[in-house]
A and B are shown apart, each in its own frame.
Chain A
């Protein structure tokens, strides 16, 4: 994605554009003269419009009365993105909003904003740093209190501050290395070596705290997934429905009804998860089912929490293949049937090394409560080390970690200081990227691709 945005004035809806919303907020950004818009507003304004004050006025298209609105003017550079911004609060009907946008694009020369364009201009005008933009993105798309917090900490610059400290320690170490090349005559080799060691251990120590925050888990904590897997007819869809308490999944006694997987959002203790019901794992007899089985294996790998459902009355040879995956919880269904305990024990004898398990009957609230609190506990554990949520940061921190480790080893064996310094530069590139000093096109592209219009 290339950013070839032009500087012309833009307009977009900044609020959720719902059909029956009471109000909507529209933003206009990047115009030179507020007076250009005067013909659209009725008699507002006995005096000049002062910045950051709300005015109540009537919007019109020529003689045609369109809406009653509130408007606020933010004068650049003291605005969100550094440009002149006009915020209009209108009535929320989608048709109304579209009509207003039409009016401004056709008669006031405005262009509809591209995704993320308001924020892009904030970056361009140095109102936000790259990290802050990422933070904003995280904040706006947060699915848990923790993600909200981290988004905010990026937005306020406190996480970025930590990155900057690491960058500064890196620069200090780099300086110590260069000192021992260019000025060892002035300061002596011993003093130079001491500087080298001190600055390197300071850098490594500081980095250690950051490293812990990416090592927590491989899964995606921004949009954690709960996956329900099991043999056909184990009762996966029933659990799925019980959790959602609605009848979305087709529940039927014929094995293999759920061909692909279904997914729904589910809120557990304030955290939004994606819940997946997967196709049963079985030698697939038709193509659609085979594809479903393949996708199930894939889902399980990236899941945050995986549940294996086992119906001890209906075992298949594929079971041994299924349990090669790691599960967070194994649940036995059909516990209300006679001979359940006998069947279960029989199975446990055959597979003695199954993970944590419990029994569930979909009618028992208590069982479900237990399951939900298990998921929540895992989430709380995962965020206790304050994991870094953004993939770009995570990737860079892991790469820095690897390079730092290699560099530290090399510094103990390599006597050729120019080679050492060349390795250090490699490390430096990653660190500056983390701070946002050098940001290749694709970084920006991936950051802004998440934005909706109007942000």
Chain B
């Protein structure tokens, strides 16, 4: 029987990150994935990044993940979201050629000698003395650490109209449920639901009727060691279409046929990722919704109409798609469907994503009830790196929620009992001004250094940090006299925008009307200093936000103090005056601080006030 140190079940975005980072610790690693699906496939939207998620991809990249490398290589349209809303909330998003993305993943993983890729179907897992025995349809494997990244496959059930198919994805076989796999996990699994839109033939669309969104050449690549703006694939455009009154009334007329609304689907979907049916019934007065037509691949015949995912019967899908201006002649190649699946109760996991009661078992990705490739990849990395660190006898890697979106996500997952899929967005962070894309290396490299891997990435980051420190010092110490030509250039039109006294570079970068990046670039050019663009960007924005972050820190100090206040969950749940529901939630999470208690969803303000008052 073949033996592994780390075995990953599932070859999706979480799975490959888990395996990839584990392989760097010189362990025997295996991925078991269903036959017929490529590694890192993209069954839903063909894009990587987005608000909050772009930050995750960069964090992952700085820690040594794969996603940024793959996205750059397969990227066919780049965009910065929230471009006009300030640096802290800007995020990169790239449309990927999903075929190439998967091929590159296979190529990279295939070249790594200590990863074995096994294309078989798992049907049972048993705890044995040295870890786990994983049984597939044709074989059996022993592993010390087991990482489950099984996505939406557990007990998956797909719906299109009244037709139901067992399986987690189109063209895939049925998989067992969570309880079939693990006899030890007895709790009833939660059922979540997600959906995907119909795929359209790309030549059947009248693009002249739609608004074009070309690729933005000023968006930086994700991988920090890639040249900033180099593109590795041909760039294409996305297009924007809109639903109209007719579209929405077709959907409303067919309410009875929607599995989501006629009771056929029991699982809960994310409010943040609504199907077109959701939109139709939740906003009855609204008819115009955005539909982004996104390319799925350079050589693929399909496009992905983002914003109209649906589980309505085929004929209804066809009729509402064709009601959209520009899509009158659209041919549907693959119909949309909704899928229901088992998810793990993540409050039974710890900060390394290891199960609290079944040691050496980790869960990551969509099986944890998250949505999105980026969230999955981030968790896959955390599970993989911690399994490997543990095998090497090293301390676990735990990212602080105040320094990273991955940290925010993991803490949210393990403290929150959710009733809908978890999607990351910037509002989930309390420290948004600091957790930005531009300063990812500053935030992440101390964590990366904890892994002691000492590869090119580590050398690059050490260099970057050193140069950042000296550039930062340069900004603080270099004074620009009021007589300098620069000051005339930087003066704005308004009366208050006249620069009439000498100022440090840092002070200049804080002026509201100046773009800090181009200002710093200009000053460095003027002083004939040439530096990497990433470095200039990081320093300029860091200086710009310095003051605001200090102010926000001050605001939160009292709150933080309050958050770190120790509480006694046993005493709280023992009280007669807390509602049954609150008690149940507190009992599951066992919060130790006020901050953790506050994070639990469904805790009533009254309960918080009582605990805050130290009455319990």
- A-side residues, CB < 8 A to B, are 3, 76-77, 82, 120, 123-126, 129-130, 178, 180-188, 415-419, 421-422, 425-426, 429, 435-441, 444
Q: Are A188 and B290 in contact (CB under 8 A)?
A: yes
* A interface footprint on B88-101 (CB within 8 Å = 1, 0 otherwise): 11000000000000
Given the known interface contacts A3-B614, A438-B612, the answer about A182 and B51 at a Cβ–Cβ threshold of 8 Å is yes
Alpha-carbon distance A439/B615, docked complex (angstroms): 11
Which of A3, A184, A421 is within 8 Å of B432, CB to CB?
A421
Within the complex, the shortest CB–CB distance from A128 to chain B, in Å, comes to 11
- A-binding segment of B136-144, B331-339, B603-611: B603-611
Which of A130, A182, A425, A438 is within 8 Å of B555, CB to CB?
A425
Q: Are B290 and A124 in contact (CB under 8 A)?
A: no
Chain B residues, CB < 8 A from A125: 575-577
Q: Are A419 and B433 in contact (CB under 8 A)?
A: yes
Which of B50, B87, B555, B612 is within 8 Å of A426, CB to CB?
B555
Chain A residues, CB < 8 A from B432: 418, 421-422
Which of A76, A123, A187 is within 8 Å of B610, CB to CB?
A123
Q: Is B613 an interface residue (CB 8 A)?
A: yes
**6 tightest A-B CB contacts, nearest first:** A416-B86, A418-B88, A124-B615, A182-B425, A178-B427, A417-B85
Q: Are B307 and A441 in contact (CB under 8 A)?
A: no
Which of A76, A185, A188 is within 8 Å of B81, CB to CB?
A185
Q: Is B400 an interface residue (CB 8 A)?
A: no
Alpha-carbon distance A313/B476, docked complex (angstroms): 71
Alpha-carbon distance A79/B602, docked complex (angstroms): 27
Chain A residues, CB < 8 A from B616: 124
Q: Is B426 an interface residue (CB 8 A)?
A: yes
Q: Is B297 an interface residue (CB 8 A)?
A: no
Q: Are B555 and A419 in contact (CB under 8 A)?
A: no
Which of A180, A183, A439 is within 8 Å of B612, CB to CB?
A439
Alpha-carbon distance A180/B562, docked complex (angstroms): 30
Within 8 A of A (CB), among B160-216: none
6 contacts between A and B (CB under 8 A): A3-B615, A124-B577, A124-B610, A183-B272, A418-B433, A440-B562
Which has the most chain A C-beta neighbours within 10 Å: B82, B559, B607, B616? B82
Alpha-carbon distance A441/B272, docked complex (angstroms): 38
Residue of B nearest to A441 (CB): B614
* A interface footprint on B410-445 (CB within 8 Å = 1, 0 otherwise): 000000000000000111000011000000000000
Q: Are A415 and B548 in contact (CB under 8 A)?
A: no
Within the complex, the shortest CB–CB distance from A241 to chain B, in Å, comes to 48
Within the complex, the shortest CB–CB distance from B467 to chain A, in Å, comes to 26
Residue of B nearest to A76 (CB): B576
Within the complex, the shortest CB–CB distance from B371 to chain A, in Å, comes to 14
- B-side residues, CB < 8 A to A, are 50-52, 81-82, 84-89, 272, 289-290, 292, 307, 425-427, 432-433, 548, 551-552, 555, 558-559, 562, 575-577, 605-610, 612-616
Which of A123, A129, A184, A438 is within 8 Å of B615, CB to CB?
A123
Which of A77, A421, A436 is within 8 Å of B609, CB to CB?
A436
Alpha-carbon distance A419/B86, docked complex (angstroms): 8
Q: Are A126 and B610 in contact (CB under 8 A)?
A: yes
Residue of B nearest to A413 (CB): B512
Q: Are A82 and B433 in contact (CB under 8 A)?
A: no
Which of A82, A422, A426, A436 is within 8 Å of B577, CB to CB?
A82
Which of B85, B289, B292, B576 is within 8 Å of A415, CB to CB?
B85
Chain B residues, CB < 8 A from A417: 82, 85-86, 89
Q: Are B87 and A126 in contact (CB under 8 A)?
A: no
Q: Are B87 and A185 in contact (CB under 8 A)?
A: no
Q: Are B608 and A437 in contact (CB under 8 A)?
A: yes
Chain A residues, CB < 8 A from B86: 415-419
Given A182-B427, A416-B87, 8 more contacts at CB 8 Å? A126-B610, A130-B613, A182-B52, A183-B425, A186-B290, A419-B433, A422-B548, A438-B608
Chain B residues, CB < 8 A from A438: 559, 562, 608-609, 612
Alpha-carbon distance A440/B552, docked complex (angstroms): 19
Q: Are B555 and A129 in contact (CB under 8 A)?
A: no
Given the known interface contacts A188-B290, A437-B608, the answer about A181 and B614 at a Cβ–Cβ threshold of 8 Å is no
Within the complex, the shortest CB–CB distance from B296 to chain A, in Å, comes to 19
Which of A77, A181, A188, A441 is within 8 Å of B576, CB to CB?
A77
Alpha-carbon distance A124/B426, docked complex (angstroms): 35
Within the complex, the shortest CB–CB distance from A239 to chain B, in Å, comes to 47
Chain B residues, CB < 8 A from A440: 558, 562
Within the complex, the shortest CB–CB distance from A28 to chain B, in Å, comes to 19
Which has the most chain B C-beta neighbours within 10 Å: A120, A184, A438? A438
Residue of B nearest to A188 (CB): B290
Alpha-carbon distance A135/B473, docked complex (angstroms): 56
Chain B residues, CB < 8 A from A124: 577, 610, 613, 615-616
Chain A residues, CB < 8 A from B81: 184-185
Alpha-carbon distance A432/B433, docked complex (angstroms): 22
Given the known interface contacts A124-B615, A188-B290, A422-B548, the answer about A129 and B606 at a Cβ–Cβ threshold of 8 Å is yes
Alpha-carbon distance A54/B112, docked complex (angstroms): 85
Q: Are A437 and B577 in contact (CB under 8 A)?
A: no
Chain A residues, CB < 8 A from B84: 415
Which has the most chain B C-beta neighbours within 10 Å: A3, A120, A439? A439
Residue of B nearest to A121 (CB): B615
Which has the most chain B C-beta neighbours within 10 Å: A418, A425, A439? A418
Given the known interface contacts A418-B89, A425-B555, A440-B558, the answer about A184 and B613 at a Cβ–Cβ threshold of 8 Å is no
Given the known interface contacts A418-B432, A429-B555, A438-B612, the answer about A184 and B88 at a Cβ–Cβ threshold of 8 Å is no
Alpha-carbon distance A417/B433, docked complex (angstroms): 10
Given the known interface contacts A124-B616, A419-B433, the answer about A181 and B608 at a Cβ–Cβ threshold of 8 Å is no
Chain A residues, CB < 8 A from B426: 178, 181-182, 418
Alpha-carbon distance A184/B88, docked complex (angstroms): 15
Q: Are B85 and A123 in contact (CB under 8 A)?
A: no
Within the complex, the shortest CB–CB distance from B28 to chain A, in Å, comes to 41
Alpha-carbon distance A290/B614, docked complex (angstroms): 47
Q: Are B605 and A184 in contact (CB under 8 A)?
A: no
Chain B residues, CB < 8 A from A184: 81-82, 85
Alpha-carbon distance A125/B613, docked complex (angstroms): 12
Alpha-carbon distance A429/B87, docked complex (angstroms): 25
Q: Are B307 and A186 in contact (CB under 8 A)?
A: yes
Chain B residues, CB < 8 A from A126: 577, 606-607, 610
Residue of A nearest to B555 (CB): A426
Q: Are A437 and B605 in contact (CB under 8 A)?
A: yes
Alpha-carbon distance A98/B608, docked complex (angstroms): 39
